[in-house]
Amino acid sequence: MSKLTDVPKRILIGRALRSDRLSETLLPKRIALPVFASDPLSSVAYAPGEVLLVLSIAGLSAYHFSPWIAVAVAVLLFTVVASYRQNVHAYPSGGGDYEVTGTNLGPKAGLTVASALLVDYVMTVAVSISSGIENLGSAIPFVVEHKVLCAVAVIVLLTLMNLRGVRESGKLFAVPTYVFVTGVFLMFAWGAFRGLVLGDTMRAPTADFEIKAEQQGLAGFALVFLLLRAFSSGCAALTGVEAISNGVPAFRRPKSRNAANTLAMMGLLAVTMFCGIITLAMSTKVRMAETPATDLLHKGVPVGPDYVQDPVISQVAEAVFGRNSFLFVVLAAATALVLFLAANTAYNGFPVLGSILAQDRYLPRQLHTRGDRLAFSNGIVLLAGAAALLVVVYGADTTRLIQLYIVGVFVSFTLSQIGMVRHWNRHLATERDAARRRHMIRSRAINTFGAFLTGLVLVVVLVTKFMHGAWVAVLGMCLFFVTMTAIRRHYDRVSEEIAAPEGPSDDVVRPSRVHSVVLVSKIHRPALRALAYAKLMRSDTLEALTVNVDPAESRALREEWEQRNIDVPLKVLDSPYREVTRPVIEYVKSLRKESPRDAVSVIIPEYVVGHWYEHLLHNQSALRLKGRLLFTPGVMVTSVPYQLASSEAAKLRARRRQEWNAPGAVRRGPAQDRAKEAKESKEPPAAKR
């Protein structure tokens, strides 16, 4: 089984890395930017479109509000970036919002933030990949026709890339991200040159369309509500900002400064790109509708269900560069790729947060373990599974998924900034240095304004999006909160139950006697080895035990036992219904019942095989017995292995791959191998060659 699974694993994710090579996986800023900031950078591909989609409810007359909404989103983004720069410097350990909130507002607030972030990371993967599929579908119709299948395939591909390690995935993601950013700025420059210098009239492919307003003549509260809803949709551009604060440990030294600089660069790029695309969309007269089949009109006639509505960035690129031009194709491809890779922000944030929560006993401990490539493999796989499920349920529809989005991220934004305000208050109460106090007061002012603004946006998001699907995200947060609370309660209960007592207890008092029972089915080498081991234990009593399933075989076993003159008594248990497990369990329980203070040691001979299919042919009865005996108090189960010839072949194959972990040498290797390895590590490279 090891060979069957290990070879594909090595092909897909590469060879295992030693723990002491963790420092080699740390990221420089040029790689960290696409790794941690690909989500907010790529959101400019769909966030402007979401603003226009909401405004289209009131018709074209509402489109003139879009620049003001873009300015509001830009102010909010700058505020959040400035606030998180304080977080990065104050809490560089990688706990991010969870650590900030838990430390300053208490465990329940921290767990609320953790629940919100976990939901938002799953949503990031689902929304980014679904949007990427829609962008790619404008050039490749097959993708749109099978978008759920294609979206799941992309999730699988991204999962494999991330399982190879953060540094390797970062190198792969850097090129498309930088090509996308460069392409967008080239579009701005060429569009400005054509419009301002050449005087060209650039028109989007939908410029001649009209929009059938779902609600005519909105005014007063209804108009304000619509604008707030459009603003909340545009706030999707802020998702992923918090990922850098969670990923500080992945940066090279000085970690905090590098993370803060990357955060500032990300904010500047995201704001410029978002506002630039909104401006070009207005100047090229892009038209979008929530239900284009009926609400988009061409010469007064609905475009119909066969019409495929291209994203805003695709329409703007077509207007600026021209349909099927080289730069248009490059930007379209880069946009689709960067939207796929935007999910990488979540692939880095979710596993790290899951590891911290597992360390704090809120999630299963397996999430705290690094995999072969020093990535948190279990967290990566869990994220991929949850995102794939969401994509399938919602049909990879970005417009439906976006309604579930950003609720979680603004919960974490708000609570984190409130926590930072309390953090600065606590430090100001003891700090006496005037310069440091001025710095703390300035930082507190930034975080206070950030808490106010993000809290206000959270209320807007909940009010405007709750009935449109945001309730699903809130429900997901509640489920995460309840689940993590239950896991922590379980771990606490187990810790209390197994804690070493102050005084004497039944667990440390030596048993009065030890009864050893060796299970045998016939006399062969494994059985003789198990008997020899049992004798070495020098138990108070020792007997061999067999179950009478076939009377002829049992009679032959007894006769051979006597002929060999084996000095261990053989006890035969009757089994009228030809069961093996139940008679053994009942007999062991009877020994315990007769002498509750005695211990019973059950010794089971087992085959060690080298091929996966041999596991299906051997040791099945032993596995069932061990599974049942584990629930019997006072019973110790010992396996005595007997290596068949095939196990040697498997061992040699594993040694050739230099990955053999022999029993007793797991993770360390024999002493002579370790000495040889240490000696070789001290030799110069030329000597090794």
Domain boundaries, the chain: 33-490, 514-643
pLDDT band for position 359 (50/70/90)?
Answer: confident
Residue 368, pLDDT above cutoff 60: yes
* pLDDT single digits (tens) 337-346: 887 777 777 8
Give me the mean pLDDT over the 36-43 stretch. 76
pLDDT band for position 501 (50/70/90)?
Answer: low
Residue 8, pLDDT above cutoff 90: no
Is 413:467 a contact under the CB 8 Å cutoff? no
Give me the mean pLDDT over the 136-151 stretch. 76
If you write DSSP's letter for every residue of 175-232 in order, what string do you get?
HHHHHHHHHHHHHHHHHHIIIIII------TTTT-EE--SSTT--HHHHHHHHHHHHH
- Predicted confidence at residue 471, as pLDDT, reads 84
Residue 169, pLDDT above cutoff 60: no
Coil, helix or strand at residue 394: coil
* pLDDT single digits (tens) 381-434: 889 899 899 889 888 887 777 767 778 888 888 998 899 999 999 989 888 888
- Predicted confidence at residue 668, as pLDDT, reads 38
Domain 514-643 homologous superfamily, CATH: HUPs (3.40.50.620)
Describe the crossing of helices 377-393 and 147-163 by its angle, rounded to 10 degrees: 170
pLDDT band for position 508 (50/70/90)?
Answer: low
Residues above pLDDT 90, as percent of the chain = 13
Give me the mean pLDDT over the 548-563 stretch. 89
267: left (phi over 0), alpha (psi -120 to 50) or beta: alpha
- Predicted confidence at residue 108, as pLDDT, reads 92
- Predicted confidence at residue 478, as pLDDT, reads 92
Give me the mean pLDDT over the 489-518 stretch. 74
Residue 567, pLDDT above cutoff 50: yes
- Predicted confidence at residue 667, as pLDDT, reads 37
- Predicted confidence at residue 189, as pLDDT, reads 93
Residue 11, pLDDT above cutoff 50: no
* pLDDT single digits (tens) 64-113: 888 999 999 898 888 888 888 888 888 877 667 888 898 899 999 999 98
- Predicted confidence at residue 688, as pLDDT, reads 39
Residue 280, pLDDT above cutoff 80: yes
- Predicted confidence at residue 309, as pLDDT, reads 81
* pLDDT single digits (tens) 215-267: 666 667 778 888 888 888 888 777 777 777 766 777 777 888 888 888 888 88
- Tell me: cis bond preceding 254? Omega within 30 of 0 counts: yes
Nearest to 579 by CA among 632, 628, 621, 536: 621
What type of residue is 613?
A: Y
The two three-digit tokens of residue 311, written as one number: 């994203």
- Predicted confidence at residue 138, as pLDDT, reads 63
Query: Poorest-confidence range of 485-489, 502-506, 636-640?
Result: 502-506
Residue 31, pLDDT above cutoff 70: yes
pLDDT band for position 19 (50/70/90)?
Answer: very low
Coil, helix or strand at residue 242: coil
* pLDDT single digits (tens) 107-136: 999 999 899 888 888 888 888 888 778 777
- Predicted confidence at residue 24, as pLDDT, reads 47
pLDDT band for position 622 (50/70/90)?
Answer: confident
Q: What are the start-end ranges of the H helices in 466-524?
A: 470-498
- Predicted confidence at residue 666, as pLDDT, reads 38
- Per-residue b or e along 270-282, where b marks 16 or more CB atoms closer than 10 Å to that residue's CB: bbbbbbbbbbbbb
pLDDT band for position 502 (50/70/90)?
Answer: low
Higher pLDDT: 255 or 21? It is 255
Residue 686, pLDDT above cutoff 50: no
Domain 33-490 homologous superfamily, CATH: Amino acid/polyamine transporter I (1.20.1740.10)
Give the highest mean pLDDT range of 483-497, 556-570, 614-628, 643-657. 556-570
- Predicted confidence at residue 109, as pLDDT, reads 92
Query: Poorest-confidence range of 295-309, 506-520, 610-624?
Result: 610-624
Nearest to 529 by CA among 445, 607, 451, 586: 607
Query: Poorest-confidence range of 21-30, 185-194, 222-231?
Result: 21-30
- Average pLDDT over all residues of the chain: 79
Nearest to 133 by CA among 409, 347, 399: 399
Residues above pLDDT 70, as percent of the chain = 81
Using a 10 angstrom Cβ sphere, with 0-12 exposed, 13-18 middle and 19 or more buried, the burial of residue 8 is: exposed
Query: Which regions of 593-682 does DSSP assign to beta strands (E)?
Result: 599-608, 635-643
Residue 167, pLDDT above cutoff 60: no
- Predicted confidence at residue 26, as pLDDT, reads 67
